[in-house]
Amino acid sequence: MSGKPTSREWSAEEIQSFVRDLESLQGGNSSAAALIGCGERAIGPLRSFLLDGQPRGIFQPRQLAVETLAELGAKDVLIEYLLQPRKIEDSAVRFGEDAVLSTAARELGRWKTQDVYEALKKISNDRLLTGIVESLGTFARQDSISYFLWALGDGICRQAAEDALHKVGEAARPRLLEAARNPNPSAEDEGPSSLQRRRRVLQILAELPPSITDWAALRPLLDETDAEIVVATARMGLKICPPNDRQFAIQRVIEALPSADSFVQTEARKCLAENFSIAQPQVDAEIARRCTASHKQRGLDVVLRLLVNLEAGMCKERTKTDARPHE
């Protein structure tokens, strides 16, 4: 019977040829499929390609080798690659190899084994990569929380870190509360990544959701200068704080409005609307204060416009509610 040879009939030379063909950006995927068809016989040549080959700026062939090894179940080779010592001076090459490392870490997430976890933890000591965050997140272990918090301050890894912390869930609460209160390196010199981290921490705490016992730790955040932190804290706090703190929370939301961007102003408006029964006196007072400015200033006052629209909207809602027939 003639025809195309089956995968069992590929020679060692042909398998090596498939590995070399991974370098082709057009035919690489076909070569990877052929190598998967070769089964375990392809693992050795792929290992050599990955571990002995030189990292380059064009990283896709090495990334494809990693993905092919994962499809072949070569967990140990991927661990070996992940832990391989490397020092790359060229920034473009280092960026490319980080993409390969991230892919290897992500693929290792297929195996929930201790050796995989230990390898991921070891490389996480000095590398912040999305694939590491994602795979460590699948284990949902508390001893990875510090890494996830670090990743929260990174624009690329942030979403993976949020997902990972959600998987840890309630067990992460104490560390999240601690992180929310601790700017790095200090309140006076806080860097952008630290500020971003604390903002995201508050969002995660809000989704847990917050507990009454959290309030003692959260209340000092109302005194911060960052509008987003103030509004996020107040919005949580008004659900869990004692009555004597509610007016202060409302006051801080109103005071944060001038420095808030459009997104935070929208969040602040929601907060005031949700708590309008207690916020109205302070909203009215702020409207009255701002109305003492000149006509020109009032026309340019975004905060005044927001509060007036809020007041009008809440009055309209109340009128609708009062007009409904009572049962």
Domain for residue 284, yes or no? yes
Q: Is 279 exposed, middle or buried (0-12, 13-18, 19+ CB in 10 A)?
A: buried
Q: Comparing 320 with 55, which gets the higher pLDDT? A: 55
CA distance 31 to 17: 9
Residue 191 confidence class, pLDDT cut points 50, 70, 90: very high
For residues 28 and 64, is the Cβ–Cβ distance under 8 A? Answer: yes
pLDDT, residue 81, reads 98
Give me the mean pLDDT over the 110-129 stretch.
96
For residues 304 and 290, is the Cβ–Cβ distance under 8 A? Answer: yes
Distances in Å between the Cα of 203 and the Cα atoms of 99, 149, 210 are: 29, 13, 10
Q: What's the domain range around 317? A: 212-321
CA distance 109 to 139: 9
Domain for residue 117, yes or no? no
Q: Is 281 exposed, middle or buried (0-12, 13-18, 19+ CB in 10 A)?
A: exposed
Domain for residue 47, yes or no? yes
Last residue of one domain, picked from the residues 108, 136, 163: 108
pLDDT at 326 over 60: no
pLDDT, residue 72, reads 97
Give me the mean pLDDT over the 259-282 stretch.
96
Amino acid, single-letter form, for residue 298: R
Domain for residue 164, yes or no? no
Last residue of one domain, picked from the residues 108, 133, 159: 108
Give me the mean pLDDT over the 278-293 stretch.
95
pLDDT at 187 over 90: no
The 10s digit of each residue's pLDDT in 52-75 is 999 998 999 999 999 999 999 999
pLDDT, residue 181, reads 95
Domain for residue 155, yes or no? no
pLDDT at 3 over 70: no
Domain for residue 159, yes or no? no
Last residue of one domain, picked from the residues 93, 108, 123: 108
Domain for residue 14, yes or no? yes
Number of domains in the chain: 2
Q: Which of 72-86, 206-220, 227-241, 308-322 has the lowest mean pLDDT?
A: 308-322
